[in-house]
Amino acid sequence: MATSSQDLLEAQAHVWNHIGSYINSMALRSAVELRIPDVIHKHGKPITLSQLADALCINTAKTNGLYRLMRILVHSKFFDKVIISHQEEREEAYSLTRASRLLIRDEPLSLVPLALTLTDPAFIGPFHQMTEWFRDECPSAFFTTNGMDHWEFAAKDERLNKGFNEAMAADARFMGSILVQDCKHVFKGLKTMVDVAGGTGEVSKAVAGAFSGLKCIVLDLPHVVARMEGSENVRFVSGDMFEFIPPADAVLLKWIMHNWMDEDCIKILRKCKEAIAESKINGKKVIIVDMVVDEEKQAHELTETHLLMDVLMLAHYPGKERTEREWAKLFAVAGFKNYKITSTLGVNSIIEVFP
């Protein structure tokens, strides 16, 4: 079948676009490191290029480079470009979007730690070893690169451990605020909950704050909870989820299951089932906050995010992002009778799993 020049040129453009996709991430990282969102926010109104360059202490010879960085970030919808009038002259200026407001460092729901950690060389490096990983016996490209898995590496590398914990805490604060605002029904009636691998406990703090009668236990590895201080309603416990999960009315697994292969997920779920076995309430359950891939029904951008995260799992962990059918199989094998999926959390869903 003959291929026209136009078809070839479109194919070339598609190839070039994907070759350069990483540049979007790196441009965003540069903007966060330069604190561009913070500067615009502090300015209090749209900021011109010269004002932005002055505030950032940019080398004047590189002002055009700043313009080019902002141009791609405007195209990526991290900033808006507006026209302002000044002394009868019209000039272009930049303002924040909803996305870049999440990249202001001092905002309660800031995702800056997540943006910096997931674009860090430690996270990008394993992708350079994926070809080798497909031919070796290692469980992940991260293992191929470092000779150990992520958790062993983090226990030995304070910088990665700190950055990863801050990233997960940022995401947890964001998700916790949404959960207590839009998903209160999920926690209604619970008196105790274990937040498995809950890190710094941001979700537990949010949930316990919204439900005065609910007491939460945050379970995580020793190097994660070593410096954590509890409160009346939230306490931290050092332990291994594969060995023991404290008893409670509910067990929360936020962004945990996608790190693990099916066999390990089944082990975790069985430990969760043991943890809620003695609960006397009718609504005892496992609460999973994670992604549910549905390429047929989801919007293209949402599916793309899910598939990107799935390949991130491929590079760093032995886990994956799962479809509903894959989730259902895990629940059945682990001995659970029913589940309910609520798709109201953007790229994530809430899955309530009942014994």
What positions carry a catalytic annotation?
258
Q: What tokens appear for 119 in the block?
A: 């674009």
What is the Rg, in whole angstroms, of the alpha carbon atoms belonging to the chain? 23
CA-to-CA distance for 103 and 105, rounded, in angstroms? Answer: 6
| φ/ψ of residue 89, rounded to 5 | -115, 145
The DSSP code for 259 is G
In 3D space, the residue among 48, 51, 56, 49 whose CA is nearest the CA of residue 32 turns out to be 56
CA-to-CA distance for 109 and 298, rounded, in angstroms? Answer: 26
CA-to-CA distance for 346 and 348, rounded, in angstroms? Answer: 5
SS3 336: coil
CA-to-CA distance for 16 and 42, rounded, in angstroms? Answer: 37
Q: Please enumerate in sequence order all residues whose Cβ is within 8 A of that of 6, keeping only pairs 6 or more positions apart, or say none.
A: none
Please, is 292 exposed, middle or buried when counting C-beta atoms within 10 Å of its C-beta (0-12, 13-18, 19+)?
buried
CA-to-CA distance for 311 and 127, rounded, in angstroms? Answer: 9
From residue 232, alpha-carbon distances to 36, 172, 227, 266 in Å are 39, 20, 17, 32
With residue 234 as reference, give the H or E element that holds it.
Answer: strand 234-238
Tokens 């404290």 appear where? 246
250-254 and 285-290 beta bridge pairing:
parallel
